[in-house]
């Protein structure tokens, strides 16, 4: 179908809009072309292009840059993703999460559990809002191997923290590591 295509699935609580969508009925694969928007569960707005949806497995995926805005005013950016509607999980690569306070979490790979509002990721950098510690000249940040975060708790492994100015190619004057 071409031109302002809209597909609604009330059972799985999503709506897809795109300019061009093709459905392969034999294999149960829906494919969008160009910019596509998915509104999921009345709180996630997903914008990407060339999205594939496996109707049998209930998995959305794309290898194109993708952004998601959630109901908490957080914005996620991915280089690629797989979104499992049954498990309510997203697996993604090259993730950038910007929260409502302008803290920026970047991850190499991540797993997002939408049921429990939990994110698990590897090789992370968390750049805090510059004014969080009262001095906008500082660059407060956490860098580490892995992170698990939910509404009430964040755990990190092999990580270090500093508020020192971030100067390319230079180590900070001080850092706390654990």
Pairing relationship of beta strands 66-69 and 59-62 according to DSSP bridges: unpaired
Q: Between vectors from CA 67 to CA 146 and to CA 153, what angle results, nearest 5°?
A: 35
Contact by Cβ (8 Å): 95, 102: no
Q: Phi and psi (nearest 5°) for 92?
A: -145, 165
pLDDT per residue as tens digits for the range 150-163: 889 999 999 999 99
pLDDT per residue as tens digits for the range 33-81: 889 999 999 889 999 999 999 999 999 999 999 999 988 888 999 999 9
How high does pLDDT run on average in the chain?
91
What's the DSSP call for residue 50?
A: S
The pLDDT value recorded for residue 2 is 55
Q: Residue 132 has which token pair?
A: 């969080």
Q: Between vectors from CA 35 to CA 31 and to CA 36, what angle results, nearest 5°?
A: 55
């Amino acid at each position: 179908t071409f031109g302002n295509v809209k597909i609604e699935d009330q059972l799985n609580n999503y709506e897809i809009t795109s300019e061009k969508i093709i459905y392969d009925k034999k294999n149960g694969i829906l494919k969008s072309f160009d910019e596509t928007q998915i509104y999921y569960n009345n709180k996630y707005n997903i914008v990407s292009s060339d999205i594939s949806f496996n109707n049998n497995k209930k998995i959305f995926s794309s290898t194109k840059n993708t952004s998601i805005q959630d109901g908490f005013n957080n914005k996620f950016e991915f280089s690629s993703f797989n979104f499992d509607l049954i498990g309510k999980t997203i697996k993604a690569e090259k993730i950038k999460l910007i929260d409502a306070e302008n803290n920026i979490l970047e991850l190499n790979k991540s797993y997002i559990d939408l049921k429990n509002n939990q994110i698990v990721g590897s090789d992370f950098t968390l750049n805090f809002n510059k004014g969080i510690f009262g001095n906008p000249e500082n660059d407060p940040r956490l860098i580490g191997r892995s992170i698990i975060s939910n509404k009430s708790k964040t755990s990190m492994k092999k990580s270090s923290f500093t508020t020192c100015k971030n100067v390319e190619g230079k180590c900070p004057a001080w850092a706390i590591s654990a």
